[in-house]
Amino acid sequence: MMRFQFEIVSGALKPGQPVYKPEDFAFDTIDAESNQVDISLLINDLSIDFDENGLVAIWGLCPRNQWRESSMLRQPAPTGKLILKNLHEELSGKSFRLNENNRWPVFVNSNSGWICLDSGLDEITSVEVIGGVIVGIGKDQQITKLWLHPQNMY
């Protein structure tokens, strides 16, 4: 399994907003500024698309009937870019699964509207890259949590 490392660079939010499409059992990013995707990383069946300037979109299957109700709270995170540090030309156009051996549980706090794909590892730092998309990074510079706050919950 290929290991990817990430770097947070402070800055403004990228355009876009996550939405949940219940008829498709899937997330999508509307109004995203993604001209060309260089690589897609998957958590479960959710794709995280990157270009050379960082994360640009989130989309893919995430059935509501697999979400677990939770009281997890998401604190605000600084805004910026999430850069894939080991993005090389030979990886361009490919997809890689970050959790090959196990699916991450998906938690939802219906009161706050936040949804979290959780590796079970501690989040040391985080960044909001698109309005409503926060990525948690662990001590080994790996993604440990993916937080989504879609415009429409159900």
pLDDT tens per residue, range 15-30: 899 999 999 999 999 9
pTM across the whole model: 0.93
pLDDT of residue 2 exceeding 80: no
| Whether residue 14 has pLDDT greater than 60 | yes
Give the highest mean pLDDT range of 12-16, 30-34, 135-139: 135-139
Percent of the residues in the chain that have a pLDDT greater than 90, as a whole number = 73
Model confidence band, residue 150 (pLDDT cutoffs 50, 70, 90): very high
Q: Per-residue pLDDT for 35 more than 70?
A: no
Q: DSSP letter for 104, please.
A: P
| Distance from C-alpha of 98 to C-alpha of 95, rounded to nearest angstrom | 10
Cα-based torsion angle of the residue sequence 56, 47, 52, 3 in order, rounded to the nearest 10 degrees: 140
For residue 133, the SS3 value is: strand
